Amino acid sequence: MFAMVNVVSAAVQVFAAVLRHGPISRVEVTARTGLSPAAVTKAVRPLVDAGYLVERPDDRAPARLGRPAMPLHVVAERAYFLGVKLTADEVIAVRTDLCGVTREAVHRPLTSTAVADVIEVVADVCRGLAVGHDVACLGVSLSGDVLRDTGMVRFSPFLNWRDVPLADLVSAATGLPTLIENDVRALTVAEHWFGAGVGVSSFALVTAGTGIGCGLVVNDVLLPAGELGHVAIDVDGPECYCGGRGCVEALAADRVVLAGCSAVVGRQLTMAEAISLGRSGDPAVHAVFERAGRALGLALAAVANLVGPERIVLTGEAVGGYDLYADQIRQALAAQAFGAAAACELVVRPLPFDEWARGAAVVGIQDLITRSGAARGSTGAVTLPAR
């Protein structure tokens, strides 16, 4: 099904530029990649021949006199990708096209987190999404210590998995080439290529919800980000499940906020109820959100000071109640960010779990484009499926 055609790394750079910024002209590709016009022309030819790119007028551009411009477009239907996001109680799966646009999404509840049971659900969902489509790759994302290179889940706390060869197991069950990635890193890839990270070379994505996570892109390269949730910001603060004290997660994770709100009203609340009480003016509930906001703001300041990103994107379940602690987040960030870090832009971006699943699919798109070291501009060859 996938006969292979070799294209040099220049073609990969060209394709990535058109994918992220297109439709764009060859002149714009030259400016973005630093390649010579001749190199761009040489690189475009095999991509057009293989059906990945097409040159045609841009329907969105205003009409002009003379010969119409013929920018390069990615052929979105050239390949499809599946993305799966695993939580403790649900499988969220999407099918995207080559441009990372979600074409279909499916949510399926989990009744068990046993590895075999989860894989059975994943395989069933993916079979349905793949029917009638040429799927190039399946990406699976989940929280925890995930080794993309080996396909191994070393530890996933919410699924309670240790040392699970997930990529091999899912590939065997679905018949699809499978990649796995940490869910925050996968979402960071999607935002870098198609979302709030487009247009900047360095940005951080911070997720706040069940846990506190962080993805980092520096000079257009995704970097290991460590565990922002377990950075201590109050050494005399509450004990964290990791064994430390005063971790960001112990102060600002959803479960902590919900427990605090429930304690001050004397009954168990849902998060929706807690947010409603905070918005209705309950001072005790509002104070719980404010404490969490200060903790998140200090965490964002730590990222800004350490990495110096142009932009920080804050997302996750917790931003549903962002208005309750927006001032505290921004005040703590402004107070603690030093020097150039104080100019870091903060973007708050609510993203549903479908977008996290899309992130897993985009990991597959990225792998198709950047395999064999082409993303680093090597002179080695990379292979893309031929028609």
pLDDT in tens, 59-110: 665 555 445 568 999 999 999 999 999 999 999 999 999 999 999 999 999 9
Structural domain of residue 98, as residue ranges? 77-188+354-370
Domain total in the chain:
3
- Can you give the pLDDT at residue 370? 73
Provide the pLDDT confidence category of residue 376 given band limits of 50, 70 and 90. very low
Q: Is 324 part of a structural domain of the chain?
A: yes
Query: Above 90 in pLDDT, residue 360?
Result: yes
- Can you give the pLDDT at residue 62? 56
Give ∠ CA 122-316-190 in degrees, rounded to 5.
65
Query: Above 70 in pLDDT, residue 313?
Result: yes
Query: Above 90 in pLDDT, residue 12?
Result: no
Query: Above 70 in pLDDT, residue 276?
Result: yes
Same domain for 218 and 315, yes or no, is yes
**Two tokens at 228?**
């922002």
Q: Is 226 part of a structural domain of the chain?
A: yes
Same domain for 67 and 114, yes or no, is no
Inter-residue contact 26 to 14 (CB < 8 Å): no
Q: Is 47 part of a structural domain of the chain?
A: yes
DSSP codes, 246-313? SBHHHHHSHHHHHHHHHHHHTS---HHHHHHHHHTT-HHHHHHHHHHHHHHHHHHHHHHHHH--SEEE
Q: How many CB atoms lie within 10 A of CB 84?
A: 29
- Can you give the pLDDT at residue 1? 37
Same domain for 142 and 204, yes or no, is no
What is the C-alpha separation between 166 and 356, in angstroms, rounded?
Answer: 18
Minimum mean pLDDT range among 3-17, 212-226, 337-351: 3-17
More confident residue, 197 or 124: 124
Same domain for 184 and 126, yes or no, is yes
Position 332, amino acid: A
Provide the pLDDT confidence category of residue 324 given band limits of 50, 70 and 90. very high
Report pTM. 0.87
Provide the pLDDT confidence category of residue 371 given band limits of 50, 70 and 90. low
Query: Above 70 in pLDDT, residue 40?
Result: yes
For residue 24, what is the DSSP state? B
Same domain for 153 and 202, yes or no, is no
Sole residue written with tokens 């917790």:
318
- Can you give the pLDDT at residue 384? 58
Provide the pLDDT confidence category of residue 373 given band limits of 50, 70 and 90. very low
Measured N-to-C along each axis, helices 37-49 and 9-21 cross at an angle, to the nearest 10 degrees, of: 80
Same domain for 206 and 296, yes or no, is yes
Same domain for 163 and 107, yes or no, is yes
